[in-house]
Amino acid sequence: MRRKDFIKLSTLFGGGLFSGASYAGNRKKRISDMHPSEAFANAGIQGSMFDYADAPIEKVRVAIVGLGNRGSTLVEMLSWLVRHNHAEIVAICDVQPEFLDRAEESIAKFQSSAPRRVDGSSDENAWQNMCNTEEADLLLVTTPWRWHAPMAIYAMEKGLHVATEVPIAYTVHENLEILKTAERTQRHCIMLENCCYNEEELFVLNMVKEGAFGDLTHAECAYIHDLRQLLIDEKYYHNRWRLQHHLERDGNLYTTHGLGPVCMYMDILRGDNLSHLISMSSNEASLSKALRESEDPSLNALANQVKCGDVNTTLIKTEQGRSIMLQFDVHTGRPYNRLNKLCGSEATHYGYPSRLYKDHGPTWNWHRWEDEEGYKGYKEKFSHPMWSKLQSQILENEQGHGGMDFVMMYRLIRSLNKGVSLDLNVYDGVLWSLVGALSEKSVAFGNKKVNIPDITNGAWKTPRVHPVFREF
Over residues 363-421, the pLDDT tens digits come to: 666 778 999 999 999 999 999 999 999 999 999 999 999 999 999 999 999 999 999 99
Q: Please tell me the distance from the alpha carbon of residue 185 to that of residue 197, in angstroms, as a whole number.
A: 28
CA atoms 453, 48, 420, 166: torsion sign:
negative
* Across 72-94, average pLDDT: 98
Q: Are residues 447 and 344 in the same domain?
A: yes
pLDDT at 33: 83
Q: Indicate the range of 20-29, 106-115, 171-180 predicted with least confidence.
A: 20-29
pLDDT category at 290 given cuts 50, 70, 90 is very high
Residue 5 has pLDDT above 60, yes or no: no
Residue that terminates a domain, selected from 192, 208, 226: 192
**CATH number (domain holding residue 60):** 3.40.50.720
Q: In what order do the strands lie in the sheet with 161-164?
A: 116-119, 87-94, 60-65, 138-141, 161-164, 189-191
| Cβ proximity of 197 and 400 under 8 Å | no
Name the pairing type of β-strands 274-281 and 450-451: antiparallel
Residue that terminates a domain, selected from 142, 160, 192: 192
Q: In what order do the strands lie in the sheet with 216-224?
A: 355-358, 347-350, 341-344, 216-224, 323-329, 312-318, 274-281, 450-451
pLDDT at 363: 64
Residue 19 has pLDDT above 70, yes or no: no
Q: Which range marks the domain in which residue 15 is found?
A: 3-192
pLDDT at 224: 98
pLDDT at 161: 98
pLDDT at 419: 98
Q: Are residues 113 and 230 in the same domain?
A: no
Q: Are residues 152 and 225 in the same domain?
A: no
Q: Are residues 216 and 364 in the same domain?
A: yes
Residue 56 per-residue DSSP state: -
Q: Are residues 205 and 219 in the same domain?
A: yes
pTM: 0.93
Q: Are residues 322 and 385 in the same domain?
A: yes
Residue 26 has pLDDT above 60, yes or no: no
Q: Are residues 268 and 293 in the same domain?
A: yes
pLDDT category at 31 given cuts 50, 70, 90 is low
Residues 6+ apart with CB under 8 A from 34: none
pLDDT at 29: 67
* Across 82-98, average pLDDT: 98
pLDDT at 362: 67
Q: Please tell me the distance from the alpha carbon of residue 330 to that of residue 254, in angstroms, as a whole number.
A: 9
Q: Are residues 220 and 152 in the same domain?
A: no
Domain count, the chain: 2
Q: Are residues 226 and 174 in the same domain?
A: no
Q: How far lies 127's CA from each of 63, 117, 130, 140, in Å?
A: 9, 10, 6, 11
Residue 13 has pLDDT above 60, yes or no: no
Question: Which residue, 50, 16, 9, is CA-closest to 152?
Answer: 9
Residue 271 has pLDDT above 70, yes or no: yes
Q: Are residues 152 and 188 in the same domain?
A: yes
**Tens digits of residue pLDDT in 149-170:** 999 999 999 999 999 999 999 9
Q: Helix, strand, coil proportions of the chain in percent (round to 5)? A: 45, 15, 40
Q: Are residues 68 and 158 in the same domain?
A: yes
Q: What is the mean pLDDT of the chain?
A: 93
pLDDT category at 124 given cuts 50, 70, 90 is confident
**Tens digits of residue pLDDT in 320-354:** 999 999 999 999 999 999 999 999 999 999 999 99
CA atoms 6, 246, 100, 63: torsion sign:
negative
**CATH number (domain holding residue 444):** 3.30.360.10
pLDDT at 467: 94
Backbone angles phi, psi at 156, to 5 degrees: -65, -40
Residue that terminates a domain, selected from 146, 163, 192: 192
Q: Are residues 210 and 145 in the same domain?
A: no
Most distant CA atoms of the chain, gap in Å: 71
- Comparing 364 with 220, the larger pLDDT belongs to 220
Question: Of the segments 10-14, 53-57, 468-472, which one has the largest average pLDDT value?
Answer: 53-57
